[in-house]
Amino acid sequence: MLADQLKSAAMTYRFRDLLALEPLTADELTFLLDQSKPFQEIQRHSLKKLATLRGKTVALAFFENSTRTRISFGTAASRLGADTMNLQAESSSVKKGESLLDTVHTLNAMKPDCLVMRHASSGAADFVARNLDIPVINAGDGTHEHPSQGLLDALTIRDRKGSLENLNITILGDISHSRVARSNIHLLAKFGCRFTLCGPAMWVPRELQAIGPPGAAIRRVFRIEEALEGADVILVLRVQTERLHEPPLSANDYILLYQLNADRLRRAKPDALVLHPGPMNRGIEITPQVADGPQSCVLEQVTNGIAVRMALLFLLTAGGAEETVDSHGALNPSPSGPGSAAAEVQKLAQAQAAGTKKDSPHAPR
């Protein structure tokens, strides 16, 4: 057990931005989840405030409405000791017709150290990242991805299940419009999870079967009872009225055909987890009994969200330690003979620094 605790921490990655989970490898995703663990602990302290990012500023630019994600990133920043600047679309120059690029350039001119942004257009965060010299975290872009949500869902699942390997994941609802579903699929597919997508046919188009990495097991099922059979994790999605021109079903029909209730939940494995990214429409896609039941992870997801976002802000804005050595001068990971270990550590560090410049798809400049 001690050996476990002391396991070498030599493996590290440099991230320039966090725009999507799709380009990340299983090792990189595991690293991000592992780095969230210390911040989960801090949520349990009575004193939750660190000074690690003191003097840094995190710009929160939400061009699309958000309550929990904005509060979660804001809380994560303040618990790390950073300051925040807030831009909300409804009360901003965006309303007066300013272009996205002008708006973010204006924000950037106020010298934040990191930009967290949400936008109704898929690819908006990527576009901004290509035009700014500070790290950008995508807090949701259209129907593309919501990487921090994918990470916090995975962290919640890993904590409860012990591992992410080979789970049966059932996703219920409007999958075609869901960036949460996409981020979850991109992440969990890399750990060999199998997906069952279930909802009204127009929300579960055939094209979704191709969104995972090659060979990902994604099937579509249109009967909820069948979709829940053998599930380890059930991800319930909100019916997103703001992205719909016309709902495919009336609320009553949706409840009848696709609502997750206690009766239907019994078809899943007895220890199946229920996740919902929030905000929940109680009584529509999920019954209160399930939402508040022992299998529900909804509030854990919220708590873990802060830990994941603290880890992301720390990784993107704190930078590394000045030396890979303890401050007393002993070279940190030295598993082999004299001298060679030191050289290896330095080589590794250089290789990583160089590596991120050329071949990281999530570090696109």
Partner 1 sequence: MRIVEKSQLMSAPEIDRTLQRLAHQIVEKSGGTKHLALIGIRRRGVPLAQRIAKAMRGIDGVDVPVGTLDITLYRDDLSKVAPQAVLQSSDIPFGVDNMDLVLIDDVLYTGRTIRAAMNGLFDLGRPSRVSLCVLIDRGHREMPIEAQFIGRSVQTSPTEIIEVRLREIDTEERVVLVDRTEP
Query: What residue ranges bind partner 1 (CB under 8 A)?
Result: 2-3, 5-6, 8-15, 35, 37-38, 41, 45-47, 49-52, 311, 314-315, 318-332, 334-339, 342-343, 348-349, 352-353
Catalytic residue among 95, 96, 206, 245: 96
Closer residue to partner 1 (CB): 281 or 352 = 352
Nearest Cα residue to 240 out of 205, 204, 281 = 281
- 303: Cβ contacts below 8 Å, ≥ 6 apart: 40, 43
Closer residue to partner 1 (CB): 31 or 203 = 31
Please state the closest distance from residue 313 (CB atom) to partner 1, in A.
Answer: 12
Nearest Cα residue to 36 out of 130, 110, 147 = 147
Is 68 labeled as catalytic in the residue annotation? yes
Catalytic residue among 48, 68, 160, 269: 68
Distance between CA 234 and CA 198 in Å, rounded?
Answer: 11
Is 44 labeled as catalytic in the residue annotation? no
Distance between CA 227 and CA 245 in Å, rounded?
Answer: 27
Please state the closest distance from residue 60 (CB atom) to partner 1, in A.
Answer: 22
Please state the closest distance from residue 344 (CB atom) to partner 1, in A.
Answer: 11
Closer residue to partner 1 (CB): 253 or 323 = 323
The tokens for 350 are 């250089």
Closer residue to partner 1 (CB): 53 or 107 = 53
Place of tokens 């000074």: 51
- Check the CA dihedral 269-270-273-276 and report its sign: positive
Catalytic residue among 56, 119, 146, 177: 146
Closer residue to partner 1 (CB): 193 or 316 = 316
Catalytic residue among 70, 118, 186, 238: 118
Distance between CA 349 and CA 309 in Å, rounded?
Answer: 25
Distance between CA 40 and CA 307 in Å, rounded?
Answer: 5
Please state the closest distance from residue 148 (CB atom) to partner 1, in A.
Answer: 17
Please state the closest distance from residue 165 (CB atom) to partner 1, in A.
Answer: 22
Please state the closest distance from residue 257 (CB atom) to partner 1, in A.
Answer: 44
Closer residue to partner 1 (CB): 3 or 210 = 3
Is 96 labeled as catalytic in the residue annotation? yes
Task: Show contacts of 349-352: CB within 8 Å, 24+ apart.
Answer: 349/324, 352/12, 352/13, 352/14
- Would you call 7 exposed, middle or buried from its count of C-beta atoms within 10 A (0-12, 13-18, 19+)? exposed
Please state the closest distance from residue 306 (CB atom) to partner 1, in A.
Answer: 15
- 116: Cβ contacts below 8 Å, ≥ 6 apart: 58, 59, 60, 61, 73, 136, 137, 139
Beta-carbon neighbour count of residue 50 at 10 Å? 17
CA 141, distance to chain mean position in Å, is: 12
Closer residue to partner 1 (CB): 293 or 320 = 320
171 forms beta bridges with 197, 235
Q: Could you give the residue numbers annotated as active site?
A: 68-69, 96, 118, 146
